[in-house]
Structures are given as structure tokens and as C-alpha cells.
Amino acid sequence: MAAERMRAGERPAAVAASFGLQRAWAYRVQAAVRGRPLTVLPARQATGRPRTLTGVEERQVFRWVHGKSPWQYGFDFGWWTRTLVQALIAERFAVALSLASIGALLARVGLTVQKPLQRAYQRDPVAIARWQRETHPALVKQARKERADIAFWDESGFRADAVHGTTWSARGTTPVVHRPGQHQRISAASAVSSHGAFWFRTYKGGLNGLRFVTLLQQLLRGRKRPLHLVLDSLPAHKTKLVTDYVATTNGRLTLHFLPGYAPDLNPDERVWSHAKRTGTARRPLQQGEPLEARVHEQLAAMQKDKPLIRSFFRHRSVSYITDC
């Protein structure tokens, strides 16, 4: 551009000033292009400082971090930080990178900061795979043969003083959410099916065998089709009282237990997650308002929303459920 303007007759000093540069720069431009066509000066993108690690080494960093724990590399820490990645690169590649460079590297290879899911050490991957690939498909086949329904069961507790979610506030000022000072608590049990059916009951206190039998009796009341109920291995679910009651139903009710320490296999867990994120977390209890009434109202509204209930079965952790 400068060369074209000077060839058109503009003074070098004026051209240099328009670019915020010294007059001598314009004369260097004139000397560079003297007697040559301007096409020999194409604009090129600056290469910048070359990267310290090669592409192969960067992909190796991805394999170290993705799906792995720092414990596997001798670090006494449970999750990855830029400092740990920096130390690992220094140990394996003998290269010192700044924390800013580590952050840029991780972003470049597709790694982002995320809240990890928690998994119990006692999880049995073999048992989980067997449930997904063999046990549940066999259960679906059996239910179709018997013209029976399949439902997933779970229980959960609600607290009036529980805080879920986030809100906005000025930097350095913790926001305050006003809610009742009484420690109200209520429990709820529910059964959910992939076709959008949702049954629930609220109750006070903990769950034992007698209360579980009472809930099962209420669940079966008015049912015409046999029911296969999938649930976890909570001790209250396996008492002799429960076993004896199920035997008296003469096949109207059958219990099937999920693998241990695998709550993510149960879509009913999504029910509680949704209820707690959108209930008192979104609209705290008013003065004198009972928690049980609010929870019952919310679950009753969910019961009428079949598309919402069916959406809980589209989560990737329960994608093995094929009777939708």
C-alpha cells in the first residue's frame, strides 16, 4: 500500500506518518521495490514464536490427561490442574512451560475444565456391562412375553434449607437467599417408566422394610398388568418382610436389583435431580409454608408432563434402556 501511494506521487514523509512510522521507513520501502513489480511483496501472516512441543507430543499430553487420574502418574492428587500437567511435561519431555502455555496447550488439544462425576471404588464394570448387555435385554423380552410393565424405583430426601444452583452478585460479595430457618425434611419414593408413567408418594422419616411394603402395596393398587420393578440394593429393599410380600403377589410384582454402586443406571435418579434443581432451589419456601406440600405439588406437576418423564430416559447413562 505504501509503495503504491508513493508511486502515485504521494510524499514519503506523509505516507510514513499515516502508518505512524518514521520517514526513513518509507525510503526503505522505496528502495525495496525500486525497479520491481509490487506483486513480489505479498502480505504474509506472521508465523509467531514456534511451539515448544511437537504435534505428536501435544497429542501424547492429551492421552495422559483424558480419562486418566494424576494418581496413575505418581501424583498425590485426585484431579488434573495446570500445575500437575506442567510437572508431568517437565518430567517426561524435560521441557519447562508456563502455566499460560499449559492452558493454551490443553485448550488446543480439546481439553476443558469440567466438574467430574463421582464413582465409588466398589463399582463393578463387569457387572454393569452384564446388566446393560444381557440382564436388561432379557428382562425386556420377558416383560413383552408376559405383557407386563417395567418401571424403575428410587427414593430421595428433600430439605427446605438445601441450596442448589447459582445466582449473580457483585464480585467479592456472597449473595444471600432468604429461606425458613426451620430444618424441614421430607422423603419421597417414585417409580418411572420409559413410556412416561410416573408414580410417587411422600413420607416422613427413613425407609424400612415395613414402609417399603406399604409403598409397594400402594403402587400395585388398581394395576391390571404385572410389574417388573428395577431398583437398587438398599437393605430395606431386601428384608424378609419384603421378600414374603412379593411372594404373595403371585407374579404381579417382581423385583430386579441393579448392580451395586451404579445409581447412574437408574433413570429415576434424573427425576430427583430435576426436582431439586427446579423446586425450592428456584422458589424458596415462604414463611409458614410446609415443605411436604411443596414437594407433593411439584411431583404432581411432573406426573402430568409425560414428555418430561420420557426425557429422563434419553440421558446417555441410561441409553441401554431399549423398551422406549
Number of other CB atoms surrounding residue 57 within 10 Å: 15
Number of other CB atoms surrounding residue 22 within 10 Å: 12
CA Rg value for the chain? 32
Residue 35: predicted pLDDT? 72
Give the H/E segment covering residue 191. Answer: strand 185-192
DSSP 15-33: HHHHTT--HHHHHHHHHHH
2 close to 29: Cβ distance less than 8 angstroms:
yes
Residue 291: predicted pLDDT? 92
> Distance (Å, rounded) from C-alpha 128 to C-alpha 131?
5
Residue 78: predicted pLDDT? 77
Q: What is the residue-level pLDDT of the chain in tens, covering all 324 positions? A: 888 888 888 999 999 999 888 889 988 888 888 877 665 555 666 667 788 999 999 999 999 999 888 988 988 877 899 999 999 999 999 999 999 999 999 999 999 888 776 666 678 899 999 999 999 999 999 999 999 999 999 999 998 877 666 777 787 788 777 766 667 999 999 999 999 999 999 999 999 999 999 999 999 999 999 999 999 999 999 999 999 999 999 999 999 999 998 999 999 999 999 999 888 767 888 888 899 999 999 999 999 999 999 999 999 999 999 765
The domain ranges of the chain are 2-40, 55-108, 129-164+182-318
151 close to 267: Cβ distance less than 8 angstroms:
no
CATH fold group of domain 129-164+182-318: Nucleotidyltransferase; domain 5 (3.30.420)
Give the H/E segment covering residue 156. Answer: strand 149-159
Residue 89: predicted pLDDT? 95
